[in-house]
A = this chain, B = another copy of it.
């Protein structure tokens, strides 16, 4: 399908960085930027803007901080119409560290927030907007927060914020198509001046299907990652999304090359994808934290015990 308003945001380096403490080397990030640029992807999210007072550069890689001069090294000399995005978490960035957009290679800043922190997220998004960035608010873990508190937060965003896009983020990979339909319709009803975005997680192999579902109901900002890389089960695979969207501005071939040359070898060293403990966490609508710990233990394939431990947690 071809809908011109649709924008694809690749968050390979940002969400993939959650697996390796954002420690991708510059050569790899440059290769991703080049491939995405050739593929015609609208945005590339390169990492987080975190305060170095809160996280040590000794423990985390470059893309936990996304200094502008590091970003400039990545993009130098590569022809591109792909805009750059960074993510910020509520409470983890010093706003005074953010320079005006006109002085930065970054075009978009996305503020990730739980429903409970939405006042802070609105404040931050407005701050970034005033500095000249495209601002978005990404509502995380939405499968845990679908009651009236969510409605109220979305109303508040519509009325008080300068955010251009509001994302539905299925952090736990717990949503099926019907809840996605419900959420996108609800967001579209309330957000008369903003676009709706969707960020899926693939715990139940539904990230791509749910992204299609969001498109059907008029979400126009879509997140994906090359070969589905991302924390735990990962995200919607960019190659599938581009294969589905018929907009001639996209070319799937540079993405296929990236997978052949970078992501097949990378997958030997980093784990993501369809892995049963993540599927179980998705089915149970739980954070993948316990599943990620299991995968690092010697019980990594002991699925029944893990399932029963989550069942019992729920009963406590």
- Please list the residues of chain A having a beta carbon within 8 angstroms of any beta carbon in chain B: 176-178, 202, 204-210, 212-213, 216, 227-228, 237, 239-240, 243-244, 252-253, 256-257, 259-260, 264, 273-274, 276, 279-280, 283, 301-304, 307-308
Contact = CB atoms under 8 A, between A and B. Distances in A.
Given A209-B209, A216-B177, A243 B204 contact: yes
Contact of A240 (B208, B228, B283, B308): B283
A210 B304 CA distance: 27
Nearest to A306: B256
A212 B283 CA distance: 14
Contact of A209 (B205, B237, B303): B205
Contacts of A243: 204, 279-280, 283
Contacts of A176: 212, 244
Contacts of A240: 204-205, 279, 283
B276 A239 contact: yes
Contacts of A202: 205
Contacts of A227: 276
B208 A206 contact: yes
A178 B204 CA distance: 20
A205 B280 CA distance: 17
Nearest to A243: B283
A279 B239 contact: yes
B204 A303 contact: no
A302 B256 CA distance: 8
Among A177, A243, A264, A303, find the residue whose CB has the most chain B CB atoms closer than 10 A. Answer: A303
B307 A256 contact: yes
Nearest to A204: B240
Contacts of A206: 208-209
A149 B147 CA distance: 47
Nearest to A263: B276
A210 B205 CA distance: 11
A308 B252 CA distance: 11
A227 B301 CA distance: 13
A202 B257 CA distance: 22
A301 B267 CA distance: 13
B208 A302 contact: no
A205 B208 contact: yes
A265 B177 CA distance: 32
A303 B205 contact: no
